[in-house]
Amino acid sequence: SLTVSLPAALQPHQPFQIIVRYTTADGPAIWWLDPELTYGNAKPFVFTQGHSVCNRSFFPCFDTPAVKCTYSATVKAPAGIQVLMSATQSSYLEEEGVYQFYMEYPVPAYLVALVAGDLIHADIGPRSRVWAEPCLLPTAISKLSGIVERWLTAAESLYGPYIWGRYDIVFLPPSFPIVAMENPCLTFIISSILESDEFLIIDVIHEVAHSWFGNAVTNATWEEMWLSEGLATYAQRRITTETYGAAFTCLETAFRLDALHRQMKLLGEDNPVSKLQVKLEPGVNPSNLMNLFTYEKGYCFVYYLSQLCGDPRHFDSFLRAYIEKYKFTSVVAQDLLDSFLNFFPELKEQCVESKAGLEFERWLNATGPPLAEPDLSQGSSLTRPVETLFKLWTTEPLDSVAAASSVDLTKWRTFQTVLFLDRLLDGSPLPHEVIKKLSECYSSQLDSMNAEIRIRWLQIVVRNDYYPDLYKVRRFLENQMSRMYTIPLYEDLCTGTLKSFALEIFYQTQNQLHPNLRKTIQQILSQGLNPLPAIDTTAVTTDTPAMVLEDKVSEATNGAISLRDVNVSA
């Protein structure tokens, strides 16, 4: 911490300036990548990830969301390295290799972000461009050209003008530790998600929604992150309803609420982290408090408030007024709820805040699942086939294989397939006959699908010790460098009887992983054992892992659940 003593002669309210000269070492906010950890393998890369309190290792700051300020930055970079920041204005002096940035609106410290590397851009709309490594740019253009403006326009029709000027997107290498981050003017998103169209749509729209909820109006304390995430999730679903219809929105919501209940079973209904107003203990990283409750229980509360109004368009009007009143400031839950009741005096007269069993105070401070969940019947045309197919595979005796095998999953939406696979995953281990028939029916179909689908099938393979498809697990891990597609599989491999197999893959692939990810996987592999020795991977044979460590069964951890279901976006 830094303490500054002010001159005694300083008059009250007299402006003053403090200059701090500093250097930074390696810290949690700054991620340096060698060229080998990028897609192009051509140039080094660096990015920052400030949420929630990491930016204190990037620059001196009041690292709390309660404090907002403008900022300017000067960045010098070698020729051929493109530098970007989350700023409204930028310029480049080519002869000096110097970039200048300025954010004209006040933002909390965690939204100051920088990225530099082999990046090129293309315009994808009147106020949007996409940045990516040269080998990825054509894919990014094909996925997003034209539709980002459609999302921004839909959001503006709901919540008022987009105040940040530009909305650009930069795709980062797979070492990016989360899926997406809502840095103003410049959304950061992991390149790995490009192959999963529906997840890409949802993740980018969620970050668009943060432009109003989280960036313009911010939670004042880390104990109330639902004020940003719950409202952004609600706004995201209003935008998807406007642009893709209610059925698609209900399907995505069903998928997320399934994940919420899965986490509830793991944690227990009395776990304090399931509160919306969760207590932040001294010394705890606020990011550890982010979980599905922050997003989905927060969403359910906001949805409940919208239902009290009778018409979601009336609630949209309230949210526009809320943004206008509090933009560029930070708020607490009481600010939101007081504004809500003042905007709808008839609801205040009805004392809706004290309705038995649904009290606002109970929503905020009770542990357990949401007190009420949305009606998702408008999505039944998409969710009912999932429920029917799941029932065919899990009802004994298994005499409906013919009917089940006739279902062509390639015709399904991604969210239908992952919902189906997640439910099979929840029921694992399955009877051997079932997993064998599932593989015969679907394995070849799933091979050609995106990584969000494939990882779920491979987790089912691992949790059921289905050896005929294990080679697909190896092939998948040999080609993945992202936390979200590696950690869940390593967790499952080490929970069961396949730790030797996991070790073998890790020793063969560790050099392609970021050091932070490598360390995490080593910790997973070492659970209950002596620390892993450092091994020269050039000398490793397929027998080495079995000789190094005796295979042991460790206790199940929650890592696969938290990574797969929670860090959807920041």
- Give me the active site residues, please: 207, 295
Going from the C-alpha of 397 to that of each of 394, 435, 463, the distances in angstroms are 9, 14, 22
Q: Is 242 marked within a binding site? A: no
Please list, residue by residue across 221-247, b when 16 or more beta carbons sit within 10 angstroms of its beta carbon and e when fewer do: bbbbbbbbbbbbbbbbbbbbbbbbeeb
Distance of CA 548 to the CA centre of its chain: 36
Q: Contact at 8 Å (CB) between 365 and 226?
A: no
> Would the annotation count 206 as a binding residue?
yes
Angle between the 515-525 and 483-495 helix axes, to the nearest 10 degrees?
10
Is 109 within 8 Å of 50 (Cβ atoms)?
A: yes
Interhelix angle 499-509/483-495, rounded to 10 degrees, is: 150
Q: How far is CA 283 from the centre of its chain?
A: 24
Beta carbons within 8 Å of 120's beta carbon, 6+ residues apart: 82, 131, 132, 133, 134, 137
> Do 330 and 308 contact (CB within 8 A), yes or no?
no
Report the side by side order of strands in the sheet with 114-117.
Answer: 30-33, 45-48, 114-117, 82-85
Angle at 285 between CA 73 and CA 193, to 5 degrees: 70
**Ramachandran angles phi, psi of 90, nearest 5°:** -150, 155
Residue found by looking up tokens 């550890």 in the block = 288
Residue-by-residue DSSP string for 288-353 = GG-SHIIIIIHHHHHHHHHHHTSSHHHHHHHHHHHHHHHTTEEE-HHHHHHHHHHH-HHHHHTTGG
314 labelled ligand-binding: no
Q: For residue 115, list its beta bridge partners.
A: 47, 84
In terms of Cβ atoms closer than 10 Å to its own Cβ (0-12, 13-18, 19+), residue 18 is exposed
Residue 10, sorted as left (phi over 0), alpha (psi -120 to 50) or beta, turns out to be beta
Rounded to the nearest 10 degrees, how much is the dihedral formed by the CA atoms of 469, 472, 473, 478? 160
Residue bearing tokens 């972000």: 113
Per the DSSP assignment, residues forming a β-bridge with 171 are 189
Residues making up the binding site for Zn(2+): 206, 210, 229
Residues making up the binding site: 206, 210, 229
